[in-house]
Structure 1
Amino acid sequence: MTRSVFNLPATLVASLGLASAVGAAEPFDAFLEKHCISCHGPEKEKGDLRIDKLSRDFKLGADSHHWAEVIEQVNSGEMPPKKEKKPTQEEIEAFVTALDSKIKEGRAARMAARPAVSHYRLSRKEYQNTVYDLLGVRYDPAKPGELNEDTLWHGFERIGSELSLSPSHVDRYYRAAGTVLDRAFPAASGEARKVRKTAADLRYSGGKDQQAALDRFGIKRPLRYLLFPGTVQNALSANWFGKTGPEHSGLYKVRIQASGVRPPGGQPAHLSIGKRTGEETVDGLIDFDITAPEDKPQVYEFEVFLEMPASLDFCVVATDVVDRRSGAAFRNALSSRGGYIFTHSSETLLLNPNAPQMFDGKGNGLFSTVLLDWIEWEGPLETDAEKSLRKNLVPADDATPEVVAEHLQRFAERAWRRAVNKEELEDYLKSYREEREAGEKPAEAYRVAMQGVLTSRNFLYIVEGSPEAREKLTDLELASRLSYFLWSSMPDDALFTAAKGGTLNGEGLKKEVDRILTDSRINRFVDDFSRQWLQLHRVGMFPPDKKLYPTYDRWLETSMREEPVEFFREVLVKNLPMESFLDSDWTMANSRLCDFYGLPEPKTDAFQRVSLKPEDRRGGLLTMGASLGLTSDGTRHRPVHRGVWLSEVIFAKTPPPPPANVPAIEPNPPTSAKATLREKLEAHRDNANCSACHAKIDPLGIAWDNYDAIGQWRTHEKVAAGTGADPMVNPAGEMPDGRHFKDPNEFKRLLIEDRDKFVQAFIEHLSTYGLRRVLTVDDEDDIAAIAAEAKKNKYGVKDIVRAVAVSNLMRKR
């Protein structure tokens, strides 16, 4: 049997020592003995499950998730299997009723005994958003040397039981708080400055000599900077702004006027701006395609956070570069100072005659190239809203101790997201007094107290509960749960006000949730939830083999990772039905993805909605390059991994791990006929220890065998070794319940028929994300209530998110 997200941590079960506890005979034991023990008992242990060893102590509930799974399998008809004698309907009803009653009794007992207080540490992303919404300060916790990386649970990075706090965390949080306060209250002014560098400045050191040459030829065109594939050239030097230090870190706006030379039938040039990582590569902070033609340059504008002092480079990426060119010689011939003068592809006599040819006789580029006119940097930028967050936060130098305490109390209440007693702040005020007595200036002494507030568990954790156990959250706790669910950050003033005023219930709650859903901060939910739900951190984990997949590059990988996020955004904003995730006649794509998928090129380089035809063989999340690539190993597709991913993401069920010492699938022998991976898997499933689980996993992955390791469509599987022609792909299969499909389209249709299961699984994922914990069997009734509400609204995705937000489950501790 599979394991759903209704689960208790295995470590907890083991620590209790009850995994094998068996109580006295229960009313349902006769059914189990007759229909289940033969396959899940002492003689056989299919699915790694021994029903005879499951705990009957339902109050403790160590195995309640297994019992709930048993009910689900019996109700669905999947168990007992087809070859075994089926129980009568009366037997099933009596069994389910008796077992369900026991589960519910245990649930009530556990709810009454739940702990008084729960703590959930903020993830790095939540910390970043919270300090921004609290102080208007931008801080990157993922930068090397900053906050520790979050531990993942099936893609989710905010599960409370996974986010521990070690001594190394504490030290980094103190440093982070110091950095945040330095930026909030800098010692020196960080007023925005603007710097523009023209092509003449960047390439020709002002271009006086080159301009004189142009004058001699009578050429009226301006000098331009030709950036060819593989070149890495300076895009920003900190000294452009004069003397600059960390106090100038912040948001910068960059504007670039550029156009592209594109070979006939080739790709548009791609420009990346970031930190140099190699001779021909940068770690891109800004990535975009240059679609503007040579004679109609376009101004491209971006915002980027920079840690100053910063140095950045340009890098042009194009997959249609001819490999036979001598890279070093090519670069040296074109990049040496004074080696060429470029104004236009028609003025080729100005190019270095010793350099490789870049244009044909008609002015067509031989490969994708960027033509840069100028670049402009402006920053650090601060909005009035960001500045207002820091207004009057620090008391005046001559403030009395009472005024200082009042200031700190107001700050702590916003930072800790609740009412704060003055007694709780005594240690921080003591630090302030000690700093003043040591001769520190009032503002600096007060910052020490503020740093204490920002390193308190009340800031770093979402704290729910009080010394007395209670069933429901307070309104202030609910406000934090909602804001961290949908904004990945602290409540705003309006949400605080609603919570303090006691209106966060009934129609008042619905009104606030609707406001939250229409606020621009909902984009944080789109980015964070979709990335975690779909496990997009795995995209690029196994870089594809360049020899096998020469068209795969970093820009394609980045575009693949963004496609499902942009798709989710469109579905949520338009409140489209859930089945859009499974199949659609459109997708969200940029020019790089359109080229990869063979779709008509979009009008702009940004992501936009693109229509699909049946022959495109795309539609929905499951045929996206990201979904297909993250389940591959860089050389070949992996049907089993695709099946496991689909089971987890679409049905919220994680199959059990494989038995120990299961042999790996060997490569095709050179002297044997070429065989598909599917054929080898079928031989692998002959192993009795593997067949039960593979029967449920493999069809979910085999359905996508027409897509290779990076998601390209194919009809034959390329097999490196072996005799004969490459074998044809066979995506046909049978679902665990016996329904057949012949190709991916029919498989999608079967998934849509199972819409209710997918919707429930989606609700489980949303709830896991929102509650910051693994769901258990105790949550089943609440999940069912949310699903019933979603069905009334025809499964619109925004309606489902709203239903989760206003549900009884979200109000429970």
Structure 2
Amino acid sequence: RPEVGDSSMDDTQEQEAMIMLMSTYEPAEIKFDEFRAPVSGYYDLTFSGYTIWMSLDFKTVSQGRRTEPVTIYSETPPRRLRRLGAFDFEPDPTRHHMRVWLKRGESIQPDATRLVRSRPPDFENPFEEEDGMPGVAFQWMEVEGPFYDQWPEKGHQLLFGDLPIEDPAKETREGEGDRRKHLLDTLVYGPRPFVEVQSRNPAKDAAKLLKHFMEAAYRRPVPKDEYQRFLALIEDTLGKGFNFVDSMIAGYTAVLSSPAFIYLEPTAPELDGYALAERLSYFLWNSPPDTELLALAENGRIKNPYIKSQQVERLLSDPRSERFVEAFLDYWLDLRKMGDSGPDAELYPEYQLDDSLTESMPRETRLYFAELINQNLSVGHVVDSGFVFVNERLATLYDIPGVTGADIRKVVLPPESPRGGLMTQGSVLKVTANGTTSSPVIRGAWIMQRILGKEIPPPPPSVKAIESDIRGAKTIREQLALHRSQESCNKCHEKIDPAGFALESFDVMGGWRDRYRTTAKGQGEITSGVGHDGQDFRFKIGLPVDASGQLPDGTPFQDIRELKALLLQDEEQLARNL
């Protein structure tokens, strides 16, 4: 188990290391579990390590032959993982730093994501060569923190202002040795204490604090009768013998249960300044309006189109707008469904247990969309572009040479690449497939609705869904041709299917394909080997893919490149839908 380092580390720890020859998959897990965050906050993590080459008899360790991507997760029992970041270990020892937010009780778990990932003992290593196999060596992790932007924190100031406090963690921070460890364990595993606030005039302080809190919660001036109602609750709680902190928390809890906090102001014939400010803020920040927005709401200037446009630019340039990008894409492009299905183990063994790929896909899409916003690029980039955001794993999937490492960055596409735009990104191609097969109907309807804004009516209840024939006897195009022979079906399918046919060149995870894969018995080129999960696989190469089609107006196209060019002829429709 790797050491958890602190300021007392000596030279020995630089000479020792824990070798990892597999990607983490329980029960084969490596954790820095001697550390758990005693309180929530920002922590600086430093990792030291390098890549190695292990002999087949496990007796000789030599220098690594390439870099290896490492992903760092936080873990909350029982095994709830949250991605914190990624970096690359190199053949020579390197140190990597990251500042992360850790929740109370979380520990740190590293993962060498490119290595074989399977449960021992029944697996083979697909990266094994005649003279050995790759691995990574973790030397140590150093933790410093927690750090806060201010103390007391903003949340505490919102609740208790500048009233003097008694800090229950003071003894923990000042303690040393076993005593300090015991106190840290108490903070991690014991009940979380509220700070004790000293109030010499509870009634007066309660009135002042509640007014400030309700103005922030309501996002507008507070009606006097509602203020008095919550103040009476606090005074009643104090009168029953509860301490000041518990009494204030009771009042705040009631405020946060009120409709004025939970809901946006009901839409009137015309929004007032406060309603407009809160809608802008929750839309682009997913949080209450800040003081600048509220000031503009109070004087009514927020309704000036020029001022409103300035505020939109300000909100989008703030890091908090990442919340908008994530939420918007989760629903517009269905990125929230990334985990709904996984690739079939028999047909797509190269994607099995590949967290590096599945975690990189939505990050690519979010970075790409944020780039469109930040650079104010034309709406045509929704359909096509000359660049993508990829790391080594995504670049391998997309057949883009020269990209190494775990870091996702902007990369110019090769001239003949079919990538570019949203439709050919792995995340979109994954959420529009079911893990075993892709469907031109589903993908075509998705493009018509999400990219072009064309409403597609649901099929009649009596019509069965078309399922791809994974036995390889017929292509999905041949099956749909039979289906479309019915006039009632053809009306919709002539609009839906063409765009879906163009995406048939991409498999269920977004990899390029010229032929389908099949599990059928009989003739056919057999592909076999060992997958990323360490298990044997065997499938056949089936019928060829035909990605051509014809739009409802009769315009033909041969592949996804030509379809993109046709869609770009109507940028006004793309803009209207977006």
TM bucket (normalised to shorter chain) is 0.7 to 0.9
Structure 2 partner of 1:784 = none
Q: Is the 8 A contact 1:637 1:709 kept in 2?
A: yes
Once the two structures are TM-superposed, the CA of residue 732 in structure 1 deviates from its matched residue by 1.0
Alignment of structure 1 residues 29-178 onto 2, 5 Å:
none
After superposition, the Cα gap between the structure-2 partners of 1:419 and 1:493, relative to the gap in structure 1 and judged at 3 Å, is same
After superposition, the Cα gap between the structure-2 partners of 1:738 and 1:704, relative to the gap in structure 1 and judged at 3 Å, is same
Q: Is the 8 A contact 2:273 2:300 kept in 1?
A: yes
Structure 2 partner of 1:547 = 346
In structure 2, the residue corresponding to 1:259 is in which secondary structure?
strand
The structure whose residues are more often strand, as a share, is 2
Structure 1 partner of 2:73 = 273
Task: Give the aligned residue type for 1:570.
Answer: E
Task: Give the aligned residue type for 2:547.
Answer: P
Once the two structures are TM-superposed, the CA of residue 429 in structure 1 deviates from its matched residue by 1.4
Once the two structures are TM-superposed, the CA of residue 277 in structure 1 deviates from its matched residue by 8.8
Structure 1 partner of 2:258 = 456
Q: Distance in 2 between matches of 1:724 and 1:392?
A: 72
Task: Give the aligned residue type for 1:642.
Answer: R
Task: Give the aligned residue type for 1:378.
Answer: E
Q: Distance in 2 between matches of 1:755 and 1:380?
A: 49
Q: Distance in 2 between matches of 1:717 and 1:635?
A: 11
How many residue pairs end up in the alignment?
506
In structure 2, the residue corresponding to 1:372 is in which secondary structure?
strand
After superposition, the Cα gap between the structure-2 partners of 1:272 and 1:283, relative to the gap in structure 1 and judged at 3 Å, is farther
Q: Is the 8 A contact 2:202 2:244 kept in 1?
A: no
Q: Distance in 1 between matches of 2:404 and 2:518?
A: 38
Q: Deviations over 1:282-329 (max 9, x none)?
A: 6542365553312141314141332x33344334333557x8xx9338
Q: Is the 8 A contact 1:270 1:287 kept in 2?
A: no
Match of 2:285 among 482, 487, 507: 487
Task: Give the aligned residue type for 1:227.
Answer: M
Matched, 1:229 2:18: no
Q: Is the 8 A contact 1:696 1:735 kept in 2?
A: yes
Matched, 1:658 2:454: no
Match of 1:259 among 47, 50, 68: 50
Identity %: 28
After superposition, the Cα gap between the structure-2 partners of 1:524 and 1:668, relative to the gap in structure 1 and judged at 3 Å, is closer
Structure 2 partner of 1:565 = 366
Q: Deviations over 1:345-381 (max 9, x none)?
A: xxxxxxxxxxxx98976xxx613x2221211233433
Match of 1:375 among 130, 133, 141: 141
Structure 1 partner of 2:549 = 733
Q: Distance in 1 between matches of 2:428 and 2:470?
A: 30
Q: Is the 8 A contact 1:647 1:653 kept in 2?
A: yes
Alignment of structure 1 residues 470-485 onto 2, 5 Å:
470-485=268-283
Q: Distance in 2 between matches of 1:414 and 1:554?
A: 40
**TM-score, scaled relative to structure 1:** 0.57
Once the two structures are TM-superposed, the CA of residue 221 in structure 1 deviates from its matched residue by 6.8
Once the two structures are TM-superposed, the CA of residue 644 in structure 1 deviates from its matched residue by 1.4
Q: Is the 8 A contact 2:21 2:115 kept in 1?
A: no
Alignment of structure 1 residues 569-608 onto 2, 5 Å:
569-602=370-403, 604-608=405-409
Q: Deviations over 1:416-436 (max 9, x none)?
A: 101002211222112212211
Structure 1 partner of 2:516 = 717
Q: Deviations over 1:121-148 (max 9, x none)?
A: xxxxxxxxxxxxxxxxxxxxxxxxxxxx
In structure 1, the residue corresponding to 2:384 is in which secondary structure?
coil
In structure 2, the residue corresponding to 1:378 is in which secondary structure?
strand
Q: Distance in 2 between matches of 1:761 and 1:273?
A: 37
In structure 2, the residue corresponding to 1:704 is in which secondary structure?
helix
Structure 2 partner of 1:529 = 328
Once the two structures are TM-superposed, the CA of residue 554 in structure 1 deviates from its matched residue by 2.0
After superposition, the Cα gap between the structure-2 partners of 1:633 and 1:199, relative to the gap in structure 1 and judged at 3 Å, is closer
Task: Give the aligned residue type for 1:708.
Answer: D
Unmatched tracts of structure 1, length 5 or more: 1-197, 212-219, 332-356, 763-813
Q: Deviations over 1:723-772 (max 9, x none)?
A: 6652221111111222111111110001101211111000xxxxxxxxxx
Q: Distance in 2 between matches of 1:267 and 1:728?
A: 37
Q: Is the 8 A contact 1:668 1:722 kept in 2?
A: no
Q: Distance in 2 between matches of 1:515 and 1:626?
A: 29
Structure 2 partner of 1:704 = 503
Matched, 1:612 2:420: no
Q: Distance in 1 between matches of 2:296 and 2:494?
A: 52
Q: Is the 8 A contact 1:227 1:316 kept in 2?
A: yes
Structure 1 partner of 2:483 = 684
Match of 2:98 among 280, 301, 310: 301
In structure 2, the residue corresponding to 1:409 is in which secondary structure?
helix
Alignment of structure 1 residues 287-436 onto 2, 5 Å:
289-306=86-103, 308-318=104-114, 327-328=120-121, 366-367=133-134, 369-384=135-150, 387-388=153-154, 390-391=156-157, 393-394=159-160, 397-399=199-201, 401-436=203-238
Q: Is the 8 A contact 1:588 1:610 kept in 2?
A: yes
Q: Deviations over 1:775-797 (max 9, x none)?
A: xxxxxxxxxxxxxxxxxxxxxxx
After superposition, the Cα gap between the structure-2 partners of 1:267 and 1:667, relative to the gap in structure 1 and judged at 3 Å, is farther
Structure 1 partner of 2:167 = none
Matched, 1:441 2:243: yes
Structure 2 partner of 1:621 = 422
Task: Give the aligned residue type for 2:499.
Answer: L
Q: Distance in 2 between matches of 1:516 and 1:298?
A: 35
Q: Distance in 1 between matches of 2:435 and 2:224?
A: 58
Deviates more, 1:385-394 or 1:679-688: 385-394
Alignment of structure 1 residues 626-665 onto 2, 5 Å:
626-665=427-466
Q: Distance in 1 between matches of 2:10 and 2:238?
A: 57
In structure 1, the residue corresponding to 2:477 is in which secondary structure?
helix
Unmatched tracts of structure 2, length 5 or more: 55-63, 164-198, 525-541
Q: Is the 8 A contact 1:255 1:377 kept in 2?
A: yes
Once the two structures are TM-superposed, the CA of residue 709 in structure 1 deviates from its matched residue by 1.4
In structure 1, the residue corresponding to 2:515 is in which secondary structure?
coil
Q: Distance in 2 between matches of 1:277 and 1:708?
A: 35
| RMSD of aligned residue pairs (Cα, Å) | 3.3
After superposition, the Cα gap between the structure-2 partners of 1:386 and 1:525, relative to the gap in structure 1 and judged at 3 Å, is farther
After superposition, the Cα gap between the structure-2 partners of 1:304 and 1:601, relative to the gap in structure 1 and judged at 3 Å, is farther
Task: Give the aligned residue type for 1:328.
Answer: P
After superposition, the Cα gap between the structure-2 partners of 1:262 and 1:508, relative to the gap in structure 1 and judged at 3 Å, is farther
The structure whose residues are more often helix, as a share, is 1
Q: Distance in 1 between matches of 2:297 and 2:406?
A: 43
Q: Deviations over 1:648-702 (max 9, x none)?
A: 21122331111123234466597xx832111111111112331111111111211
Q: Distance in 2 between matches of 1:288 and 1:310?
A: 15
In structure 1, the residue corresponding to 2:139 is in which secondary structure?
strand
Matched, 1:538 2:337: yes
Task: Give the aligned residue type for 2:270.
Answer: K
After superposition, the Cα gap between the structure-2 partners of 1:375 and 1:669, relative to the gap in structure 1 and judged at 3 Å, is closer
Q: Is the 8 A contact 1:476 1:499 kept in 2?
A: yes
In structure 2, the residue corresponding to 1:377 is in which secondary structure?
strand
Q: Distance in 1 between matches of 2:385 and 2:53?
A: 32
Q: Is the 8 A contact 2:468 2:476 kept in 1?
A: no
Larger relative contact order (Cα-Cα within 8 Å, sequence gap ≥ 6): 1
Matched, 1:286 2:286: no
Q: Distance in 2 between matches of 1:440 and 1:709?
A: 59
Q: Is the 8 A contact 1:590 1:607 kept in 2?
A: yes
Q: Distance in 1 between matches of 2:480 and 2:385?
A: 30
In structure 1, the residue corresponding to 2:449 is in which secondary structure?
helix
Once the two structures are TM-superposed, the CA of residue 513 in structure 1 deviates from its matched residue by 2.5
Task: Give the aligned residue type for 2:507.
Answer: D
**TM-score, scaled relative to structure 2:** 0.79
